[in-house]
Structure 1
Amino acid sequence: MTLYRQLFTWMLAIFFLLIIAVTGIELNTTRNFLLTQQTAEVNNTINSMGLALAPYLESDDKVATESVINALFDGGFYQEVRLRMLSDGSEIIRQYPVTVDGVPDWYIGLDLFPVITEERTFTSGWLQLAEVVVVSHPGFAYKEMWSATIQLGVWIGILFAIAMFIIGLQLSRSLRPLALITNRAKDIAQNKFGEPIPLPPTSELKTVVKAINQMSKQLEDYFEQQAKEADRLREHAYRDAVSGLGNRSFFVGQLKSWLAESAVGGLVMAKVDLITDTYQNQGFEKGDSLVSQFAKKLNTTITDADYTASRISKDEFVILAPNGTNEDMRMIGESLLAIVTDMQQDPMGISPPKVAIGLVVNGAGNRDASVLLAQADNALTQARNDPNHPISMLDQAANDSSMGRQQWKSLILDAIAHDWFVFKFQPASSSDKSVLHQEVFSAIERGDEYFGAAHFLGAVEQLELGESFDRYVVSHMIGKLIDDPKMGPIAINLTQSSVTDASFIRWLTSVMQKNRALAGRLFFEIPESVFVRYPDHVGLLTEQAHRFHFGFGVDNYGRNFQSLDYLNKFKPSYVKIDFAYTSNLDDEAQTHVLASICRTAHNLNITTIATRVETEAQLNKLSELFVNGFQGFIFEKKVEHHG
């Protein structure tokens, strides 16, 4: 029971007891008055009867005596009148059937008024003439008493209703600061920090509110400092200080992650001789300024959320483009060439571009990082053979990855229309092997042809088919959850184009509203880059997810070099750590960064999940670094659901 209800109940109970006591006293006073009135009326009636009968009793006129009795007692509240003549012993008896209208039998059964019996002897001088007995009936008293009870009951009800309203209103006003304190305490327990609570007028609560506000601010500052510390460690380990891009360690981690996942896409390597010349001829300050300028322009060329850029040496830059096609690679190469040409400040266009750009398009076959980097070096060497257009491409793609955009579009739309999609589920488990959720992986089966998600997801984003694809997957999975109550929880990856699409957000909101019963069994996984680049769009979606109690997670946690304080803003259910942080657990610097970014999430009660956990040694090491969820071979139980 809440404090409000407890106080409200006790105050009403006390008020009720007081008003019942006052009512009891008032009713008892009314009863005593009516009883006294009834007794006096009987006495007055007998006295009047004696005066009226005296002449007739002396003359022994029985007829006149009987007439007087009839006149006196007809219509009154009397049960019986008995008159005995002492001269001859004769009696005159009158009995009256008295009924009480409008008074319930149970009320009369309370026996509030006794029957009053009065006896009197009429005399003339010393001569006794007659004896009379009058038995009253309390009907009038009951009638008046019932009327008084009804009136008091109505007034008691009105007063009680008014008292309930006033007590409830006053208690609400008095306890409002306490309710704010309680809600803020709940928020603090969930690491949610808002505006300070206004100080209440009550001196006792004012002290408590000040303490709560101070504690909330200190905790918020602590988490912000912790997030900033994690950012500093991460930047020191993985970010190039001059360009703001990822460094060689970051690139190697991303390259390993990509090759382990799909290896479908491309790699752009650019050696910018303009930067080398600037360092040699104009000094480090000018050289660093040029690097920073080039990095900013480079970032503007990267529109895909999965693409990452790194600076791997003084004048070498790489762009990793998962799912990128030949056309995508050429567009990036031409953009880089245009950037360097523009920075050379050669209005006449006489000087050749001081850059060499090597492009490599990789198929699903090559998963060797050293081979891929060697191919990129070869492409750079070949690029220098054409000084005026120093771009060269090595295309190692084959089969499905060389399909054109329209072919991919046709395949994906046909797969949605004809249910060619199949789904696999990979569990994310805690260290004790209990399943947190199962992640949904999509693939296309068309006859004997099989296309994994890594082959077509890039085309989904590039062709802006994310909304149609995600609607299909979400609808399909909801149908499976409804059909199988024991299934779940499951996590569905959403594409960037869906999360940033207003119509998809409206559709998903209506789906969550209609399927509230699935709230604990369905999660949505959103890339970290969307939280960083499109906070307003993703905020609309996550707000509705919180509203209907659907969980959501962050994919590629830590990949982007923006502050991690977005976690406190959006409050995801879990984060899936980018593989770059878990690929080399023997590196002490990397484990420090991993522990720091995981601690940031852990302290906000957010589950941290590591992927591609293959051995018990990895599991034990990660468990020491604030990682509490794992995906990988040692947990995987392959279960296929065909659409």
Structure 2
Amino acid sequence: MQQANRKIRSSRVITLRTLLLFFTGALVLLLLVVSMVISARSFHGYVIEELEGQTRDAATAIGLSLSNAIDATDTVAVSSLIDSIFDSSQYLVVEFVDHDNNVVAGRSQPLADLGVPRWFIRAADLPRPEGTAAVMRGWQWLGQVRVVGHPGNAYRDLWRVSQWLILSSVLIGAIAIASLYFLLGRLLRPLRAVERQAEAIGHRDFRKRTHIRSTRELNQVTRAMNQMTDDLEQLFAGQAALIAHLRRLNNEDALTGLASRNAFDQRLAVEAVTEEGRRPGSLVLVQVSRFADVNQHAGRLEADALLTRLAECVHQFVDYHAGSFAGRRSGAEFAVFIPGGAPADALIWGRELVEDLQAICVEFAGERSDAQLDLLVHGGVAGTGDGVSVKTLFESADTALARAQTEGVHHCELADSGADVHHGAEDWRRLLTDALDREALWLWEQPVIATDDETVLYRQVFSRLLVEREWVRGNAFTPMAERFGLIGRLDVLVFQRALQRLREEPSVVAGLSLGISTVMLPDIPERILLMLRAAGTDARRLWIGIPEQALHYHRQEAQAFIRQLRRTGASVLVDRFGVGGIPFSYLKNLSIQALRIDSSFVHGIDRHEENRFFLESMITIAHGRGVKVYAAGVETESEWRTLKAAGIDGATGYHLGRPGPAGDPPVIGAPG
């Protein structure tokens, strides 16, 4: 709204080009009008002089003729002479009067239609000149000739000249103003480019440069603007690089690039334990036994090289299992959490991971032909459940890991942690497909609260699917939908229901979050765009979240999709910000309106100084780009106070408002 108001105010302000064109054009028109008036008045005087001269000459000629050539006493001869002259239609009156002022002979006519507008006759107001001449015979005075000129020809000549002057002035004025318009446009083109560059800087976009050259003064302005833009971009890049570096120091293992122990534990607490973020899943602990032998026999550098290769394998495992994340515990011990993964499935995947890591260890030992490097990889798997704390989860996985180590070979075991039994992978595939086929989806929503603790910025929409007669939360089935390629169908169905709600509730502003792989699925982004275009102005009341992981794994597709989303009028935010662990320099290349901090950063932020510093620095950079910052997962008053002190724009969380149904549950038919 503020941006729209700024555009309205700027549209009401006259531009420099218009101002210069107005004043210069007015000056040109004034000169043309003055020139036209002077020319018209000059011709007006010339016409009057010609008319008066013509009248005098006619009177003199007639007088001479009657005095010398024609007998003035011969009335017939005088009348013939007067008729011949009067028939030229150049005179109103031609007459011969005697010494008693009696008309001897003469002709006259009224001032009839002159072929010019009456208003022009009144404006020009030409005189009717009168000429006289004496008629003599010797020294005898016989009378005089009186001639009154006819101004008709003079009016017509003056009208034609006036028309030509007006037409030529209009033509010259139009050519002059058009030439001035294009000339000013060319001269001020760098200024317009600088204006667009200034607007881009105002929107924290430092990509625009001005390369158009014009006058010396404008060239200096463009150079100064380009230099300022370069400096601001370098400042932003430096800040972003510094904050990203500090974040890596605090949250990533410097050698492997995996999450640090504290960062992994904090995210695990949010994903598996907290009331709001809890989702079913499995923890996999993997340890390389006898790793100390590598340091002893091969040296620290070789040990680090082995750890790097093992970490690359763990990275590949996480990339393959959507939503998973991994960290390095200590030495050669790694932890992986697989959301949505049932313990039985996680055991299969854990054993595959152990096999891959064991192959790397065997290859490493073979490269050095060192029989003493007998490395074994073991794993332990434990599932989450109600009442299972992070400590209990790790203890269960450690117990399974210890049992695997007693086998004497590389192996992976499943803990008996007492956790709830989750659906297996194939069960999830069948259940999700059936729910989507029946469109058994129910929308819930949670308010995003501004820092005044009252204003609802928008309502974050969540989905629940009817699975075995129970409405299951989205964080339970979303990882499995990603894994089985069903996330696109789920997102399309959520969009349909959400847009229907916006049509029914004109006052609601809603927020949706897409899946990580949605942006690169065939036809899914285009279907979403078609729905948004068909929604018209309703799309402007929609916040669409693109996960940060999508920007990392599918950057080109995500960037193209975001540009298309912005054209529909929808607002775009980067969702689960901070989870991807990628530098946020992408802010300068994306047209986004907000970031939403992942709950793993928010959880306990009042006690984690490193996360608080990262958040404050990131908010400063985002606000410097005109990007709002929201947070997810606020569960305590102290977390909310810390976020507000850091400059957050709004947040969701159980402390601020619990999710609730957006209407009654839909009526679902029986399973097919």
Question: Shared topology, TM-score over 0.5?
Answer: yes
Structure 1 residue 85: Cα displacement = 3.6
Structure 1 residue 332: Cα displacement = 4.8
Alignment match of 2:280 (pick from 264, 285, 288): 264
Alignment match of 2:79 (pick from 46, 49, 66): 66
Aligned equivalents of 1:455 and 1:89: distance in 2? 127
Structure 1 residues 42 and 559, CA gap change in structure 2 (3 angstroms): same
Structure 1 residue 390: Cα displacement = 0.9
Aligned equivalents of 2:435 and 2:105: distance in 1? 115
Q: Does the alignment pair 1:356 with 2:378? A: yes
1:460 is matched with which residue? 481
Structure 1 residues 263 and 89, CA gap change in structure 2 (3 angstroms): closer
Paired residues, number: 637
Give the AA of the match of 2:431. W
Structure 1 residues 519 and 222, CA gap change in structure 2 (3 angstroms): farther
1:312 is matched with which residue? 329
Residues 352-388 of structure 1 show CA distances to partners (whole Å, capped at 9, x for unaligned) of 971111223435x355222222222232233335444
Aligned equivalents of 1:63 and 1:514: distance in 2? 99
Aligned equivalents of 2:47 and 2:66: distance in 1? 28
Residues 543-571 of structure 1 show CA distances to partners (whole Å, capped at 9, x for unaligned) of 22344553211112112222221222224
2:670 is matched with which residue? none
Contact 2:98/2:144 (<8 A) preserved: yes
1:618 is matched with which residue? 639
Residues 579-627 of structure 1 show CA distances to partners (whole Å, capped at 9, x for unaligned) of 2222122232332233233333233222111222234332222122232
Give the AA of the match of 1:314. G
Contact 2:339/2:479 (<8 A) preserved: yes
1:514-529 equivalence runs, <5 A: 514-515=534-535, 517-518=537-538, 520-529=540-549
1:602 is matched with which residue? 623
Contact 1:614/1:634 (<8 A) preserved: yes
Report which stretch shifted further, 339-348 or 146-155: 339-348
Alignment match of 2:128 (pick from 97, 115, 120): 115
1:376-387 equivalence runs, <5 A: 376-387=397-408
Structure 1 residue 52: Cα displacement = 4.0
Aligned equivalents of 1:268 and 1:556: distance in 2? 23
Alignment match of 1:169 (pick from 179, 182, 197): 182
Aligned equivalents of 1:425 and 1:82: distance in 2? 108
| SS at structure 2 position matched to 1:267 | strand
Aligned equivalents of 2:84 and 2:290: distance in 1? 135
2:351 is matched with which residue? 333
Structure 1 residues 588 and 464, CA gap change in structure 2 (3 angstroms): same
**Percent identity between the aligned chains?**
24
Alignment match of 2:601 (pick from 581, 596, 599): 581
2:5 is matched with which residue? none
Aligned equivalents of 2:90 and 2:472: distance in 1? 104
| SS at structure 2 position matched to 1:60 | coil
Aligned equivalents of 1:402 and 1:185: distance in 2? 54
1:77-226 equivalence runs, <5 A: 77-86=90-99, 89-90=102-103, 92=105, 94-100=107-113, 102-194=115-207, 196-198=209-211, 200-226=213-239
Structure 1 residue 159: Cα displacement = 2.0
Structure 1 residues 160 and 474, CA gap change in structure 2 (3 angstroms): farther
Contact 1:268/1:360 (<8 A) preserved: yes
Contact 1:467/1:498 (<8 A) preserved: yes
Contact 1:264/1:401 (<8 A) preserved: no
Aligned equivalents of 1:191 and 1:495: distance in 2? 28
Aligned equivalents of 2:278 and 2:649: distance in 1? 26
Give the AA of the match of 1:435. V
Aligned equivalents of 2:100 and 2:213: distance in 1? 92
| SS at structure 1 position matched to 2:124 | coil
Q: Does the alignment pair 1:76 with 2:94? A: no
Contact 2:72/2:142 (<8 A) preserved: no
Aligned equivalents of 1:248 and 1:141: distance in 2? 106
Q: Does the alignment pair 1:324 with 2:341? A: yes
2:443 is matched with which residue? 423
Contact 1:276/1:315 (<8 A) preserved: no
Aligned equivalents of 1:218 and 1:183: distance in 2? 18
Give the AA of the match of 1:210. R
Aligned equivalents of 1:446 and 1:561: distance in 2? 33
Contact 1:415/1:444 (<8 A) preserved: no
Aligned equivalents of 1:171 and 1:591: distance in 2? 53
1:537 is matched with which residue? 557
Structure 1 residues 64 and 627, CA gap change in structure 2 (3 angstroms): same
Contact 1:84/1:131 (<8 A) preserved: yes
1:506 is matched with which residue? 526
Aligned equivalents of 1:241 and 1:40: distance in 2? 110
Report which stretch shifted further, 187-196 or 253-262: 187-196
Residues 190-232 of structure 1 show CA distances to partners (whole Å, capped at 9, x for unaligned) of 2211254337353323333333222222221221121122112
Report which stretch shifted further, 609-618 or 285-294: 609-618
Alignment match of 2:62 (pick from 35, 49, 58): 49
Structure 1 residue 80: Cα displacement = 3.5
Aligned equivalents of 1:502 and 1:445: distance in 2? 26
| SS at structure 2 position matched to 1:324 | coil
Residues 240-281 of structure 1 show CA distances to partners (whole Å, capped at 9, x for unaligned) of 111111011111111122123132222221112263432344
Aligned equivalents of 1:353 and 1:284: distance in 2? 16
Report which stretch shifted further, 207-216 or 36-45: 207-216
2:11 is matched with which residue? none
| SS at structure 1 position matched to 2:255 | coil
Structure 1 residue 167: Cα displacement = 1.4
Aligned equivalents of 1:630 and 1:441: distance in 2? 15
Contact 1:557/1:578 (<8 A) preserved: yes
Give the AA of the match of 1:218. D
Structure 1 residue 124: Cα displacement = 2.8
1:480 is matched with which residue? 501
Structure 1 residues 82 and 506, CA gap change in structure 2 (3 angstroms): farther
Contact 2:579/2:598 (<8 A) preserved: yes
Structure 1 residues 237 and 65, CA gap change in structure 2 (3 angstroms): same
Contact 1:440/1:491 (<8 A) preserved: yes
1:294 is matched with which residue? 310
Contact 1:573/1:607 (<8 A) preserved: yes
Alignment match of 1:572 (pick from 580, 592, 606): 592
Unmatched 5+ stretches in structure 1: none
| SS at structure 2 position matched to 1:110 | helix
For the aligned residues, what is the CA RMSD? Answer: 3.0
Structure 1 residues 110 and 264, CA gap change in structure 2 (3 angstroms): same
Report which stretch shifted further, 226-235 or 95-104: 95-104
Q: Does the alignment pair 1:342 with 2:363? A: no
Contact 1:268/1:358 (<8 A) preserved: yes
Alignment match of 1:250 (pick from 263, 275, 278): 263
Alignment match of 1:435 (pick from 451, 456, 467): 456
2:6 is matched with which residue? none
2:7 is matched with which residue? none
Unmatched 5+ stretches in structure 2: 1-13, 667-672
| SS at structure 2 position matched to 1:312 | strand
1:231 is matched with which residue? 244
Aligned equivalents of 1:329 and 1:99: distance in 2? 117
Give the AA of the match of 1:356. H
